[in-house]
């Protein structure tokens, strides 16, 4: 992905989603807050929605879970499949 403003937001979103699994509750809570705030910016553009959708294929399960949850409104079938697969793991 190129170094566009959206690419930077997506990288921050991915990092925040990973941090939600931190054993330190303060770090995990901050990660959840950051992921949600970044989602609110990304969902407003087609490029942002495509980027979040792509993260449903990320190797990190926590990133896939956040991306799938956030993509439910525009990629419902794919998001539900990702969430179902994560539930099995």
Residue pLDDT tens, the chain, 89 long: 578 999 999 999 999 999 999 999 999 999 999 999 999 999 999 999 999 999 999 999 999 999 999 999 999 999 999 999 999 97
**pTM for this one?**
0.93
List all residues 6 or more positions away from 3 whose beta carbon is below 8 Å from its beta carbon: none
> Quick one: how far is CA 35 from the chain centroid?
7
């Amino acid at each position: 992905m190129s170094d566009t403003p959206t690419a930077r937001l997506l990288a921050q979103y991915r990092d925040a989603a990973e941090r939600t699994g931190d054993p330190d509750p303060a770090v995990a809570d901050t990660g959840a807050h950051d992921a949600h705030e970044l989602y609110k910016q990304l969902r407003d553009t087609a490029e942002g929605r495509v980027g979040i959708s792509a993260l449903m294929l990320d190797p990190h399960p926590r990133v896939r879970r956040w991306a799938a949850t956030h993509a439910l409104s525009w990629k419902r079938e794919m998001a539900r499949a990702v969430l179902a697969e994560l539930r099995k793991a």
